Amino acid sequence: MLTMTIESSCDETSVAVVRDGREVLANAVASQIPIHQRYGGVVPELASRNHIRNIHAVVDDALAEADVDLEDIDGYGVTVGPGLVGSLLVGIETAKGFAYAFDKPCVGLNHLEAHLTTVLLELEDVPTPEFPYVGLVVSGGHTDLYVVEGLGEYTLLGRTRDDAAGEAFDKVAKMLGLPYPGGVAIDRLARGGDPARHAFPRPMLNRDNLDFSFSGLKTAVLRHVEQQGVPEEQPLADLCASFQEAVVDVLIEKSLRACRQQGIDRLVLSGGVACNHRLRHRARVECDQQDLTLFVAPPRLCTDNAAMFGPIAEEYLKRKDADHFDAHALRARATMSIGDDSLRQTSSSHR
Ligand code: KG4
Ligand code: ZN
């Protein structure tokens, strides 16, 4: 089965062709980072306008890379949320248009769920985890810990009570005058810095739960900058490394705690922040020490892309009860929880 998946929830326009939910034949991504960089963050109106401009070229790129035609596609999967509504609509209308024109099914998909299940793709050097696994989704909008029992079977263990980890990276980077996306800039600078130079707080670390909080940490950096100014060169690298270390400490500690509490020895990291070098390194070392197996996709599949929807697109297209053209299911959603059954439990078709 060949699926085309389309992702346009934020500032990446991406189209993938995936075979049998596992094999990525193409994963074309048009990034809008240069467009939004001058504003220090994503401007929703510009994002949707540029999705419209890019989407058909990205579809063509994906088809060329996969060496297939639209006629060969057996079904479509498209992000319906959570995300920027104007941006989501571009992907949704494109997928609906193709599905309608070629008389093929189309399912609406959850962006978070795609991050959480990306590792089920066939990946070079990364084995496929068995179920159940503990999954951390750590992105610009989310910091959530789940137990994944199977596709569509998720139990939330903990989540951020305020900022997401990626959001904290982006806001701290902005305070330090670093370019968007801030996580990338901090990661790069931190590599030459001393993570023990500043003792920033590790929010929620000692609380007996699996929730996170990053807003206090962000404020601690703000206070530091207010008192001492924005540093340059080595002190800037030290500040970045110290902030990053505080985030990484909390993410690792809570993820490992989740594995212990659940008696599960497989940990999956996903989402844009899972590109972070320090997080990947520390996770590898600590999982080794605690006899846990770590699964993390290569960075290009951790940031937003359409291939990550391959496993869930295939699964939901195959499920008989999926109402392929339900207008309600193919509606853009700004917020959406991962177990949002409104996607698949509707019975009336509006086709
Ligand atoms: O998953 P993603 O591409 O989009 C969302 O679903 O939000 O994640 C984007 C987030 C941004 O906050 C970005 O700063 C962060 O991921 N990010 C990183 C790194 N690369 C991207 N954070 C830390 N270190 C990185 N190397
Ligand atoms: Zn994402």
Dump pLDDT digits (tens) for 210-233: 999 999 999 999 999 999 999 999
Ligand 1: does its nearest atom lie under 6 Å from the Cβ of 144? no
Q: Which domain holds residue 159?
A: 127-296
Check: pTM over 0.85? Answer yes or no: yes
Contact between residue 243 and residue 217 where contact means Cβ atoms under 8 Å apart: yes
In whole angstroms, what is the distance from residue 318 CA to residue 50 CA? Answer: 32
Question: How many angstroms does the Cα of residue 347 sit away from the middle of ligand 1?
Answer: 37
pLDDT one-digit tens code per residue, 45-74: 999 999 999 999 999 999 999 999 999 999
The answer to whether residue 121 sits within a structural domain is no
pLDDT one-digit tens code per residue, 128-178: 999 999 999 999 999 999 999 999 999 999 999 999 999 999 999 999 999
Q: What DSSP letter does each residue of 240-289 carry, written as one string?
A: HHHHHHHHHHHHHHHHHHHHHHHT--EEEEESGGGG-HHHHHHHHHHHHH
The reply to whether 143 and 292 lie within a common domain is: yes
Sign of CA dihedral 19, 25, 30, 31: positive
Query: Which atom of ligand 1 approaches the CA of 181 most closely?
Result: 14
The reply to whether 263 and 170 lie within a common domain is: yes
Q: What DSSP letter does each residue of 2-33 carry, written as one string?
A: EEEEEE-SSSEEEEEEEETTTEEEEEEEEE-H
Q: For 332, phi and psi rounded to 5 degrees? A: -70, 140
The CATH number linked to 104 is: 3.30.420.40
The answer to whether residue 253 sits within a structural domain is yes
How, if at all, do strands 2-7 and 106-110 pair?
unpaired
Number of structural domains in the chain: 2
The 10 Å Cβ neighbour count of residue 91 is 26
In whole angstroms, what is the distance from residue 327 CA to residue 179 CA? Answer: 39
Ligand 1: does its nearest atom lie under 6 Å from the Cβ of 184? yes
In whole angstroms, what is the distance from residue 245 CA to residue 200 CA? Answer: 9
